[in-house]
Structure 1
Amino acid sequence: MESHQLEAFAAVMSAGSVTGAGKLTGRSQPAVTRLIQELEAEIGYALFDRRGPRVTPTPRAFRLYEEVERSLIGLERIRASALAIGRDDAPPLTVAATPALAASLVPRALAGLSDAHAGAVQLRSASAEQVVQALLARAADAGIATLPLDHAALDLHYLIEAPCVVVMRRDDPLAALPVVSLEALRERRLATVSNRYRLRRRIDDAFGQAGFAPHVALESNASLNAVMAAHAGLAIALVDPATAFGTPVSDVVTRSLDVHIPFYFGVVTAADRRRSDAIEALIDAILQAALGLLPGAIRHDATRHAALLTPMAAPPPSSAKRITA
């Protein structure tokens, strides 16, 4: 299996056609077709259903593409490292993070690094599960993701807890309140996250304790989509504070809730890999960025991972303060 075969396959998956793949790779259409046919002959099954000039990926092609994409990213990382070595530069750091944390915390952390550690960085936004996979596959030097993060092959350095918030349009009646009660959301349309094995579980638990189910008008794998739903007037967003404060949106306001719905995330690295000084500096910089950005954020030792997974582990704060947008 040759790298140029995998590149041709990935190009067809991205472009949606052999002709488009040829333009992306600088190869002729017959050359791309030949590379795909050689790959199919080697693996023993078809990757595309062919109907004249158009091709449709098979279910197996989609499954294979996930592996090929990771491999090509790894090859690109090797290429970048080789060039850095030739210039006597430090190899680029590769960071994998969930979308909210990649957009809000990582750039702030990188901006806070000293000149000695501020080198090139490759930042990949991915699901929490994919962050773990990237570390295990040695495709990332550090990962930042929501809980759970308990894996024998990973070193969990610390955990951050910060309260979830609600985001709404400035002209929404609830925007006049210093703190929004969960009861005030009973009849309101909500936008929030969808992964019920992570933050969404704690959100649903909070409503369950309040005695009613949320009216979710939009759920998404990216909390910024929920914030944009609030911006459009579709719903009130109930999201993590990293998104609310780290990726500000005009014409919306952020308010505290009268119940504490904790948002947890941690920083992890592969247990069997030596951490460079730059990685150590980045781990500390992410902590400082989180404590500086997220109101009410606290650091937990990694040993508390199991305890923090208990739904609604923390009581509501005794005195909530107004959070301004």
Structure 2
Amino acid sequence: MRAPSLRQLEALMAVIEGGTVSRAAEIMRISQPAASKLIRDLEADTGLELFERESGRLVPTGRGMRLYEEVQRIFGGVHQLTRAVEAIRREERGHLVIGAMPALSGMFLSRVLSGFLARYPDVFISVETRSSQFLSEAVLLRRLDLALVVNSHEHPSVTVEHLQAPPMVVIMPHGHRLSDKSEITPEDLKDEPFIALGESSRTRNLVDAAFRRYNLQPKVVIESTTIHNVGELVAAGLGLTIADPLSLEFAANRVTARPFRPTQIYDYHIIRPVRARNSSLVSAFVEEVHAASLKVQLIV
């Protein structure tokens, strides 16, 4: 017995699925005699009677149907493999998996994505918003192509790049009496109702340290665990806060911002695997991150 060729097996499937040799020839884009020859050669090579001839038509025998079912299963696996290969190629060519800590996952990340997709409209992007620790581990495991985090640790398999974020600012409701000042110090804020993040947050630590230089403490009236809540409370007129402009950009049209002295910088980092897939796309995305940080919408 000779091993059947793929073309012969295609002819078998085409005849059974098309119902006639002529239809099979159309499906395979060959002549009818060529299709008939493929079937005859298949029967000769396998030593099996695969079709019965009835009134000029080919009717599959039981053996023919059994072989058809096996071929169908094998071809199905081949097609599935082909789809998997295409999916891999598509991902390698145009798929990025991005991570961002919650503070940067709002308007700032939206501006980054808008700028990037304007340049690469065919790239598919997945975004994961989690804690910096979780994202750092995900980059280390190469589950993420890039992540925006704070307090990143050095590792030989990870590239860490500082994000040039603008200095922290005082955020206050529109029309507040301090909005007339060109810059604001802890002395100006000592009696003002203050909306603070939790004591474990880096922002809170920076703010408290700045006040200690003046032997002062902020007059905290409300404490919240998320920067989004803090921004909404300030916009509602319940107090002031100090934050980096990137994290409070969503409230830009509803609050007033003024420079805070002494200058405080919130250290964001861009991390990515050293041997990142889609390295050119990742580099382009990093460019957009830096560009967006220089065009923060929270006007001071």
- Category of TM-score, reference length = shorter chain: 0.5 to 0.7
Provide the C-alpha distance between the structure 1 equivalents of 2:197 and 2:121, rounded to a whole number of angstroms. Answer: 34
1:116–1:176 CA distance, 2 compared to 1 (3 A): closer
Q: How does 1:267-278 map to 2 (within 5 A)?
A: 267-278=270-281
Deviations 1:219-260 (A, max 9, x none): 33432221111012222121111023x313543211111321
Contact 1:192–1:239 under 8 Å retained in 2: no
**Once the 2 structures are TM-superposed, how far is the Cα of residue 152 of structure 1 from its aligned partner?**
4.1
Aligned-partner residue type, residue 220 of structure 1: S
Q: How does 1:1-325 map to 2 (within 5 A)?
A: 85=87, 88=90, 90-113=93-116, 115-116=119-120, 119-194=123-198, 196=200, 198-244=202-248, 246-293=249-296, 323-324=299-300
1:140–1:259 CA distance, 2 compared to 1 (3 A): same
Contact 1:226–1:238 under 8 Å retained in 2: no
1:242–1:209 CA distance, 2 compared to 1 (3 A): same
Provide the C-alpha distance between the structure 2 equivalents of 1:217 and 1:275, rounded to a whole number of angstroms. Answer: 48
Aligned-partner residue type, residue 122 of structure 1: S
Provide the C-alpha distance between the structure 2 equivalents of 1:256 and 1:84, rounded to a whole number of angstroms. Answer: 51
1:183–1:230 CA distance, 2 compared to 1 (3 A): same
Contact 2:98–2:127 under 8 Å retained in 1: yes
Deviations 1:117-156 (A, max 9, x none): 6512111222222221221233321011123443444211
Q: What is the aligned-residue identity percentage?
A: 22
Aligned structure 1 segments of 4 or more residues deviating by more than 6 angstroms: none
Aligned-partner residue type, residue 133 of structure 1: E
Provide the C-alpha distance between the structure 2 equivalents of 1:281 and 1:215, rounded to a whole number of angstroms. Answer: 43
For the residue of structure 1 that corresponds to 2:282, the secondary structure is helix
For the residue of structure 2 that corresponds to 1:110, the secondary structure is helix
For the residue of structure 2 that corresponds to 1:178, the secondary structure is coil
Provide the C-alpha distance between the structure 2 equivalents of 1:117 and 1:156, rounded to a whole number of angstroms. Answer: 27
For the residue of structure 2 that corresponds to 1:204, the secondary structure is helix
Corresponding residue number in structure 1 for 2:44: none
Provide the C-alpha distance between the structure 2 equivalents of 1:208 and 1:129, rounded to a whole number of angstroms. Answer: 28
**Once the 2 structures are TM-superposed, how far is the Cα of residue 278 of structure 1 from its aligned partner?**
1.1
1:82–1:242 CA distance, 2 compared to 1 (3 A): farther
**Once the 2 structures are TM-superposed, how far is the Cα of residue 101 of structure 1 from its aligned partner?**
1.5
For the residue of structure 1 that corresponds to 2:262, the secondary structure is coil
Aligned-partner residue type, residue 291 of structure 2: Q
1:198–1:152 CA distance, 2 compared to 1 (3 A): farther
Deviations 1:8-30 (A, max 9, x none): xxxxxxxxxxxxxxxxxxxxxxx
* Higher mean C-alpha displacement, 178-187 vs 106-115: 106-115
Provide the C-alpha distance between the structure 2 equivalents of 1:116 and 1:249, rounded to a whole number of angstroms. Answer: 28
For the residue of structure 2 that corresponds to 1:190, the secondary structure is strand
Uncovered stretches (5+) of structure 2, i.e. residues with no partner: 1-82
Provide the C-alpha distance between the structure 1 equivalents of 2:276 and 2:161, rounded to a whole number of angstroms. Answer: 14
Contact 1:97–1:125 under 8 Å retained in 2: yes
Contact 2:165–2:294 under 8 Å retained in 1: no
Contact 1:85–1:91 under 8 Å retained in 2: no
**Once the 2 structures are TM-superposed, how far is the Cα of residue 169 of structure 1 from its aligned partner?**
1.2
Query: TM-score under structure 2 normalisation?
Result: 0.63
Contact 1:166–1:256 under 8 Å retained in 2: yes
* Higher mean C-alpha displacement, 113-122 vs 225-234: 113-122
Aligned-partner residue type, residue 85 of structure 1: A
1:135–1:241 CA distance, 2 compared to 1 (3 A): same
Bigger CA radius of gyration:
2
For the residue of structure 1 that corresponds to 2:148, the secondary structure is strand
Contact 1:117–1:278 under 8 Å retained in 2: no
Query: TM-score under structure 1 normalisation?
Result: 0.59
1:82–1:100 CA distance, 2 compared to 1 (3 A): farther
